[in-house]
Amino acid sequence: MSKLDRFGAPVSHHDQADIDVFGQAAELMLGFAPDPVGMIKEVLKKSPDFIMARCFLAGVYLIASDKRRQPLLHQQYAELCKLADRANAREKGHIHAIGLWVAGDLYGSSQAYADILNDFPRDIVALQYGQQTDFLLGSASSTRDRPARMAAHWSQEDPQYSYILGMQAFGLEEAGHYAAAQALAERSVAMNPKDTWGVHALAHCLEMQGKPDEGVTFMTSCEEHWGHDNYLSIHNRWHLSLYHIERCEFDETLAMHDAHMVVTPKSELMDAHDSAALLWRLNLDGVDVGDRWNPVADKYAEVVDQAYMAFTDLHAMMSFAATGREAEAQAQLAALETAATQAGTAGDIIRIAGLPLVRGFHAFGRGEYAQAKQLLSAARHNSHLIGGSIAQRDVINWTLTEAAMRDGDTATVRALIAERTLMKPHSPLTDMFTRRAA
Ligand SMILES: [Fe+2]
């Protein structure tokens, strides 16, 4: 008889101890806590034919935005193909989703993860990996809709319910349903204060509604729960920093960067993105960040020719532009131009949005503000294609505003400030830009 994992989804494996470890690892992953990958690797050493554990490990590599993980994904997929005839329907769904990603059909893969939920609404792993693909692909409506497929099969009786609510809240927020999103995020955090994705969803709600005071109060009040021992702590500190920037509290922002966000050779790219995005915003606000860019640019120099996730490329270009590393910038542009001619989702995204945006930031760094303005204006409404959140991609609007300012195009600056004021009527940061434009 088929066994179930701790969430109630079927697994073809029969060793209960292995299945228990899989469940523990999946739950750690939901909390972005260490170290589910290490646990799964240990299980696979003992039981290399544990298909769902291998799907879990492959998914970790699939949702990594670092192309250096792709060979590991391909390796796991090859192993899964050998085991596929023993897989149950749920596991076949995972193998199908992984295979589509390996083949370069990233949108197809994302939808395949959603389709698993039709028959297996208790597959919280498929939900989490699927929502991460939505994030990588900037698919706001899917981020919203995916949890809805299975939410009716969960209730507050489930120990993991806060994670469902947190994912629902983030999806609703990215799709612009701020009131509903905030209500769910608050429930998620009340239910489980350590649910760092729930905290993150609430941070997004407050950011997008222009509520930096509430944001600082909330994030500092529960920092003990989200600020340590999880893979989202740096990103959640980035959100706290955004509130400080919105209040023009630049010294606080720099202090938080230096205390928690300095890039090291061991940093993951997602952490480098937070450092780069913060330093770039501070530069736009006229803050001298000293030599803080150097370790960030060193990190991105390792991946200068990836041309895989355009969101990574945009942040890499920020670091090259800020440090004047023209050789790296040119190498990156050449890699993107090649990738833009290639078939597959990544090439399509780079061609439509990634390359124009990276070129725009490159032009900005070289002081070619009219060129930057033209490139960023043309591409910014397709910028969701490069992935990340709306809050993260707001840096594109700010860079365009500054380019227009430096180009002497006051009319465009006024128009962009009017756009921003619609969403954030009371912002000291916007006021500062308005004074400069005047
Ligand atoms: Fe975020």
Q: Is 426 contained in some domain?
A: yes
- How much is the CA Rg of the chain, to the nearest whole Å? 22
| Segment 344-355, tens digit of pLDDT | 999 999 999 999
Distance 288 CA to ligand 1 centre (A): 25
Asked whether residue 23 is domain-assigned, the answer is: yes
The alpha carbon of 395 and the centre of ligand 1 are apart by a number of angstroms equal to: 13
Residue 229: what pLDDT?
87
Residue 98 forms part of a structural domain: yes
4: left (phi > 0), else alpha (psi -120 to 50), else beta? beta
Q: What is the pLDDT, as a whole number, of residue 99?
A: 98
Average pLDDT over residues 141-167: 96
Q: State in Å: Cα 320 to ligand 1 middle.
A: 23
Q: Are 239 and 222 in contact (CB under 8 A)?
A: no
Residues 181/173, Cβ–Cβ less than 8 Å: yes
pLDDT tens profile 90-132: 999 999 999 999 999 999 999 999 999 999 999 999 999 999 9
Q: How far is the CA of 430 from the centre of ligand 1 (A)?
A: 21
Report the distance separating Cα 427 and Cα 269, nearest Å.
30
Domain that holds residue 171: 154-247
Q: Indicate whether 275 and 360 sit together in one domain.
A: yes
Amino acid occupying residue 433: F
Q: How many residues does the chain have?
A: 438
Do 328 and 305 lie in one domain? The reply is: yes
Cis peptide before 195 (omega within 30 of 0): no
Model's pTM, two decimal places? 0.96
Kindly give the distance from the C-alpha atom of residue 202 to the centroid of ligand 1, in angstroms, as a whole number: 10
Q: Which two tokens stand for residue 163?
A: 């994670």
Q: Is the peptide bond before 35 cis (omega within 30 degrees of 0)?
A: yes
For residue range 42-75, list pLDDT tens digits in order: 999 999 999 999 999 999 999 998 999 999 999 9
Using 50, 70 and 90 to split pLDDT, how confident is the model at 437?
Answer: confident
User: Contact, 358 vs 352, CB < 8 A?
Assistant: no
Report helix, strand or coil for 162: helix
Tell me the percentage of the chain whose pLDDT exceeds 90.
97
State which of 208, 224, 247 marks the end of a domain. 247
Residue 146 lies in a domain: no
Kindly give the distance from the C-alpha atom of residue 363 to the centroid of ligand 1, in angstroms, as a whole number. 27
Q: How many domains does the chain have?
A: 3
Contacts of 83 (CB under 8 A, 6+ apart): 49, 51, 54
Tens digits of residue pLDDT in 284-317: 999 999 999 999 999 999 999 999 999 999 999 9
What's the first-to-final CA gap in the chain, in angstroms? 73
- Give per-residue pLDDT as tens, 236-251: 999 999 999 999 999 9
| Spatial CA neighbour of 402 closest among 317, 279, 297, 283 | 283
If asked whether residues 163 and 131 sit together in one domain, one would say no
